[in-house]
Structure 1
Amino acid sequence: MSRPFIAIIPQSINDGDKVLLKGLVKDNANEFSINFATGTGPNPEDIAYHFKTIFPENIVVENSKRNGDWMDEQIKEWPASDGPLKVHLALNYSHFPNNKDNPKSSSISGPGFALEFAFTSGYVYTYLVEDEHSRNLISFYEHDYDLNEINSVQVWGDVEKIQELTFRYS
C-alpha cells in the first residue's frame, strides 16, 4: 500500500470483542503490519497493539507504542512445521468457499490473509482464520492499554488491498 489503510473503530472495543481482517498481499511482499491505535491519523503517538509479519525471516513481531516510543518487541518464529508464513497465509485463506478473489487464481497479484484479533482486558489473541469455523492461534500479546482507548485499525506495508473488515462485539 502506498498509503496506509485506516479504519475508524465504530464503537469502543471491550473485553471479548473481535476484529476480522481479510486482504491480499503484494506478489513480492516482504512485510505488512496491522496496528490498533489510539489515534486516527497515520502517525499515532500510541499503538495498543502492533502485529507485523516479516516473510523472508518467517517471523511475527509484536509490540506497542506509548507517547511516540516503541516498547520492547516480541519476536516469534513461525513454526517450521507450518512452512513459510506467506504460503501458509495464502493456503489457509483459499479455503473460504465464498472467496471471489481466490489467491490461487491468476487474476490477483499475491496471496491472501485472514486474521482475527480477539481482545481481553490483558491480552490480544491473534488467530489465522482457516475457514468460517476454524481458527489457529498464532500468538497472544500482553498489553497494558485500556481497550476503550483504541480508535482505529491501520494496515501498513506490502498489502495490495483490504477485502473485509468485520467488528464482532460481544
Structure 2
Amino acid sequence: MSDVKYVVVLPNNPEYDRVTEVAIRGTLLQEPQQFSINFVNSPSCTDNITYHFKVNIPSQKIIQNYKSDGEWSASEQQTVLNIFDEAAFSLEFKLDYENSSIRVHQRRGKGANYVTEYETFFSLSEIQSIQVWGDIKKINQFSLNYD
C-alpha cells in the first residue's frame, strides 16, 4: 500500500469532550485497489493503532484489526456487496467509549447504511490522530463531532 495520503491530529483541548463521530468523504483513484483509515495512538508513530479499517475494493472485503507495539493483530475479514462500487466514498465512524467499539456507516444520499462494528483492544481515548492511506485521490470532507 502507498504512503499516507491524509493525516488529522485530533485536538487536545480540555474545552472539548471526546470525539464521538468522524466523517470522511473523498474520491478514489481510477481503478483503485485498496484504501485504509487508521485511528492511531500517536501522530508521529504507527506502532500502536487502535483501529485499522481497510477496504480491498476488487474483492469487496473489509479488513479490521489493530497494531500493538508494531505487531498487527489477527484480522477480521468480511465481504460486503458493492458498497465501494463508485469513484467516491463517504464513511462515518461512531466511537462508543463505554463499549470500546467503533461502528462504521456508509453515507448514500440522505441515508446511512450500517457496514461493520469493531471492539477495540486499546481504549478509544488513546486515539490521537487519524490517517488515510491507499488509492485516495482527494479528501473532500473531514469532520469531527464531540459529545
TM over 0.5: yes
- What displacement does 1:63 show? 0.4
**1:46 partner SS:** strand
CA-atom RMSD in angstroms: 1.8
Letter in 1 for 2:32: A
Kindly indicate whether residue 20 of structure 2 is the aligned counterpart of residue 17 of structure 1.
yes
TM-score by length of 2: 0.88
Letter in 1 for 2:24: L
Bigger helix share:
1
Kindly indicate whether residue 124 of structure 2 is the aligned counterpart of residue 147 of structure 1.
yes
> 2-side partners of 1:148 and 1:136: how far apart?
26
- What displacement does 1:151 show? 0.5
- Classify 1:72/1:169 alpha carbon distance in 2 versus 1 (closer, same or farther; 3 Å): same
Structure 1 gap segments, 5+ residues each: 91-110
Letter in 2 for 1:6: V
Kindly indicate whether residue 32 of structure 2 is the aligned counterpart of residue 55 of structure 1.
no
Q: Is the 8 A contact 2:39 2:127 kept in 1?
A: yes
- What displacement does 1:135 show? 1.1
Letter in 1 for 2:10: I
Q: Is the 8 A contact 2:40 2:129 kept in 1?
A: yes
In the alignment, what sits opposite 2:80? 78
Of the two, which has the highest radius of gyration? 1
In the alignment, what sits opposite 1:28? 31
Q: Is the 8 A contact 1:63 1:74 kept in 2?
A: yes
Instruction: Using the aligned pairs only, state the percent identity.
Output: 26
Q: Is the 8 A contact 1:7 1:153 kept in 2?
A: yes
Q: Give aligned pairs, total.
A: 141
In the alignment, what sits opposite 1:120? 96
- What displacement does 1:144 show? 2.2
Structure 2 gap segments, 5+ residues each: none
- What displacement does 1:4 show? 2.6
- Classify 1:120/1:13 alpha carbon distance in 2 versus 1 (closer, same or farther; 3 Å): farther
> 1:11-48 CA distances to partner (integer Å, 9 max, x unpaired)?
4873x70000000000110000000000112x511000
